[in-house]
Amino acid sequence: MSDALTYRAAGVDIDAGHAVVERIKPLVKRTFRPEVMGGLGGFGGLFDLSGKYKEPVLVSGTDGVGTKLKLAQLLGRHDSIGIDLVGMCVNDVLVQGAEPLFFLDYFATGKLDVDTTVAVVGGIAKGCELAGCALIGGETAEMPDMYPPGEYDLAGFTVGAVEKSQMLTGEAIIAGDVVLGVASSGPHSNGYSLIRRILQRAGNPWDLALGSVTLADALMAPTTIYVKPMLDLLQANPSQNPAHPCADSSISVHGMAHITGGGLKENIIRVVPDGLGIALEASAIVLPPVFDWLMREGNVAREEMWRTFNCGVGFTVILPRDAVAAASALLARHGLASSVIGEVIAASGDERVHIG
């Protein structure tokens, strides 16, 4: 019949979906851990926890990459946005001391472009390798009429685990502890609605030199994945792992925070117990060139910067002052710069975060 319809005619190309799966299989396989059971193609991803933990607490997280996707699609840079997706999820579960175990992604588009999809999933696989977690499943959804041509959306989901006795709850934080700020690679995946407005006002100067990189490179730098360095830092406490090669009795981590939406102003305080606050030293937080450009070009008030961006500090560790030297040295061996940016204080009134 001449008017017979097919799924392809309706806008969904099953063959393209199969082509994506075949091309991503070797990328995904590189992320597998010994605990992964089976491979791609099942209805659910399988992960064997037996024998690894005594009292495991599962910690889950989900996130997207916000409107940074708009820049990725505008610039045709699809190979690193998946790293952002993984980073935003695994860095969150890390805050409670959890090791990310596995990851799943959701990729949705109006019309499946095989090369673009493989590039995105390749970035997700790379992010999982950096985090040490397995990419054990996902969903690729082709939905005609839901998205304009060339656009797609992403979401990620991770599950981690931590021994119940080693969870970071923030209860150990006391007044006098210091806030160690750990460097970010750039804006990570936060504040991009404001960033895009500033770009529009400035005429989208993608090739503008900011130090040794262009503005486009600085804005598209993938989110730093802090998992392996921070787990190493936690394990360096001899009370947890006396055989660790960098065991140091002075290292005792009391809390961690991932600096995401809400910036420095709103994220660190989330892990600090009631009755305590934090005092951050503005002079200790030197804005990297991309943030300095955004502030100047957008005429963004410093207070707005604090509550929108990470301002060069993508992760923080709260610990005793005498642990700073050993912790900073360990992080430096992982290639991460860090410095003290403030301290924990007794709270006074309703304002628990002071930046001055």
pLDDT means per 10 residues, the chain with 356 residues, are: 72 80 85 86 84 92 97 96 98 98 96 94 97 94 91 97 95 97 97 97 97 96 98 80 56 95 95 96 95 97 95 98 96 97 91 90
What is the CATH number assigned to the segment(s) 178-355? 3.90.650.10
* DSSP structural state of residue 251: -
pLDDT value for 210: 95
Report DSSP letters for 183-238, one per residue: E-SSSTTSSHHHHHHHHHHHT--TT-EETTEEHHHHHHPPPP--HHHHHHHHHTST
pLDDT value for 3: 72
pLDDT value for 45: 87
pLDDT value for 89: 98
pLDDT value for 39: 75
pLDDT value for 15: 80
Placement of tokens 């979401």 in the chain: 155
8 Å CB contact between 50 and 38: no
Cα Rg for the chain, rounded, in angstroms?
22
CATH architecture of 14-166: 2-Layer Sandwich (3.30)
Residue 161, SS3 per DSSP: strand
Q: Are strands 353-355 and 276-280 parallel, antiparallel or unpaired?
A: parallel
Question: Could you give the residue range(s) of every CATH 3.90.650.10 domain in the chain?
Answer: 178-355
Question: Could you give the residue range(s) of every CATH 3.30.1330.10 domain in the chain?
Answer: 14-166
pLDDT value for 42: 75
